[in-house]
Amino acid sequence: MIFLILFYLISFTQFYSVLTMCMPKPHILFFLACSFTVYAQPGRLLLVGGGSEKNGVSSWSTPAYKWAGAGNRVAIIGTSTGALAPYFKQQCGAAYAKEFAIASRDSANSQVLYDTLLTYQVIFFRGGDQTEYYNLYRNTKLQDAVINLYNKGGTICGTSAGMHILSSIVYTAANGTVYSYESIENPNNIYVTLASDFMDFAPGFVFDTHVAERARFGRTVGFLAYYKMNKGIDITGIGMDDMTCMTVDENGLGTVRGTGCANIYMAGSTYSVNGTKLLTDKVDIMQLLQGCTYNLNTKQVTFNTLNRQINSASFEETGNYTLLASGSNTLAENLSMLTELVSGIGLPADPILILSGDEALANTFKSKLAQLGAAESNLFIINAAAGNDADLSMKINAAVKIMFVSNNTAVFNQFLNTPNGDLLLKKVHTNGMFTAFVGDDSRYAGKTVVENYYTLYSSYYAQLTFSKGLSLLNHSMIMPNTFANSDMYENSATAVPYCMSMDTLKYGIWLTNHNYMKFTPVVGKATLTGFGTAPVMVISNAGTLSGFSTQTGTGVTGSKPRMVAGFDHLQLSMIDYTTPYIMGNIFVEGVKNYTFNESIEIYPNPAKNWLNIPLKYRNFEWGIHDQQGRLCLTGNSDNQSKQLDVSTLKSGHYILRIQDSKTKAHASVKFIKE
């Protein structure tokens, strides 16, 4: 080592002596500075979200791969080899391309490999397992060669796992992959493994891939939340859709190419957990389509291909009624919402009208409602004959609570065009009504209903279909069962922003099989809350520009692009009952929204066996909910005060809710059970 240092010092001294014979000293210093700047010129990046490369000059991948490899020597690295070398040579104009299978630390630490890689201008990390890349390549000569080449102006590329390892914050997947539903239910779960001691080509960023295909938007936000809550550091996320990429030049300017979006999740959000589930006020997001640009250094952006004006800033939800909507179809996962329907809203004595397309399933829900204390439930099957049923007409007119479960959209839409359908539509929009939607029926509460979303590749092949909903939420659409199975991950993820752009909606709501939402007026505000082990995810359009994907996988004329929409500014919120989300203002002439005009001062707090409620009001109902929103205890009082027996509750945090039986005035307060 000392010999090498002396050698370089002597060489530099000799070089400097030669320069002094040729030019003045100030010119020498300028020459040396320019020489060093050229040598330290940063390189370029090709960030690929995964997916199979396609032949053809107009395919999603060829232009970007050609940008990286044309005329260059390309080294393709993975733990095994594949068919990328011929693709680079035959489709992308590479001067030479070779696959390297580096499957051990000894191989990665070879001096021969180091020297060989420095004869290339492009290094491409193929897809695979980023855990292997992290464990095998970190702190080796392979890593040194990659960094050295980049600092000399070379191009470093990565697809899927290969893209993951190029950001300064790396998702290592050390304990196995993590799914979106796991990240939003617990961002601190054992599968969220982030490291900052590998490559550092994008300081302050974490990369994620296959975002649309695998509905990873929740996972990417989970990465940002984990780092902010545990490290105290704000980072930016780039979630790349599959068959989508970004070419990043030496100045940090990234240009999006491909069939989907480069999703930019910006730093600066506030995160917290309730129990373990992730909550956030808002995450600012840009969904950039092919042709848009984003500078990783300056954060400047252009929206060249977002050519649809979609300004929904003035839109508000104004319904003066209460609706519940769950994300699951099963009875077992709807118990909390059914309890809320029976005793959490209105009165247990209120009759419940059940409208369904599946009599056997609906009867199981009817039986459970009776077990939960519902005084009366009436079941009607929605079909052609029901449109003129006199008994159903009478029940709709008398209904205070209506529940929809397992309806077929085509049959349901036909019913809405009948006299009873028209009567139902008016009824659910009546001030003070209570309406509940189970699982897939939750879509009907919004303005736009998406269909065919359980079919594999429906969004990719542009086969999602749409119809009109009941518009109880007139500027929103709802996607239930968001993470039900991998066949419909992309459909559930992309359908929401796609509908928001197509129908100029303000809000999109994702529900999972582990939660339900409640929309209700509170002090003149249209308020949305969530219950369950997963947060309710609400995305709103906070910008003015949108657009649709135009690039297909092969680029062949006549094929349809996938159903992906881009936006200049979206805001994603994750909420529950502790973080109300305001969707608008409610102004209805002659109808007031009451609240108690005094605060609830309960005691003792913390409580061990008894909880006292002193109020000036008579005839109030009360309920105690746990942190997951489940109703634990309920009752009513004819007196101006009430002593509650809480001895049966487990230790923890709870919410006490009070509602005046006559005026519907309401309030809530938190307390601790010892």
The encoded tokens of residue 219 equal 């996972």
The dihedral sign for the CA sequence 84, 89, 94, 97: positive
Residue 1 is predicted with a pLDDT of 38
CA 597 and chain centroid, separation: 39
Among 474, 519, 511, which residue's Cα sits nearest to residue 495?
511
Amino acid identity at 141: K
DSSP E strands in 79-126: the ranges are 96-101, 122-125
Helix (H, G, I), strand (E, B) or coil at 532: strand
Residue 570, C-beta contacts closer than 8 angstroms, at least 6 positions apart: 284, 285, 286, 287, 497, 539, 540, 541, 542, 543
| Distance in angstroms (rounded) separating the CA atoms of residues 320 and 526 | 8
Residues of the chain with pLDDT under 50: 1-39, 589-594, 597
Residue 66 is predicted with a pLDDT of 98
Task: Name the DSSP letter for residue 348.
Answer: T
Alpha helices in 286-389 (DSSP H): 335-339, 359-371
Residue 9 is predicted with a pLDDT of 37
Residue 661 is predicted with a pLDDT of 64
Residue 220 is predicted with a pLDDT of 98
* Alpha-carbon distances of 514 from 119, 327, 342, 507, 517, rounded to whole Å: 54, 7, 20, 21, 11
CA 85 and chain centroid, separation: 35
> Domain segments of the chain: what residues?
2-39, 45-309, 322-520, 610-673
Among 401, 396, 403, which residue's Cα sits nearest to residue 445?
403
- Backbone φ and ψ for 418, nearest 5 degrees, come out as -105, 170
Residue written as tokens 């004006």?
Answer: 309
Residue 616 is predicted with a pLDDT of 62
Among 283, 317, 288, 309, which residue's Cα sits nearest to residue 570?
283
Predicted structure pTM score: 0.83
Beta pairing, strands 96-101 & 73-78: parallel
Is 136:79 a contact under the CB 8 Å cutoff?
Answer: yes
The 10 Å CB-count burial string (b at 16+, else e) for 554-587 is: bbeeeeebbbbbbbbbbbbbbbbbebbbebbebe
Residue 656 is predicted with a pLDDT of 84
My answer on whether omega of the bond before 203 falls inside 30° of 0, hence cis, is no
Q: Which CATH superfamily is domain 322-520 in?
A: Class I glutamine amidotransferase (GATase) domain (3.40.50.880)
The encoded tokens of residue 108 equal 């990665």
Give the side-chain half-sphere CA count within 13 A for 410. Answer: 2
Contacts 24+ apart (CB under 8 A), 1-5: none
Q: How many CB atoms lie within 10 A of CB 350?
A: 17
CA angle 595, 596, 602 (to 5 degrees): 130
Q: Which fold has domain 45-309?
A: Rossmann fold (3.40.50)
Q: Which fold has domain 610-673?
A: Immunoglobulin-like (2.60.40)
Residue 7 is predicted with a pLDDT of 36
Beta pairing, strands 377-381 & 73-78: unpaired
Asked if 322-520 and 610-673 have one fold, the answer is: no
DSSP E strands in 143-243: the ranges are 155-159, 170-171, 194-195, 205-208, 236-240
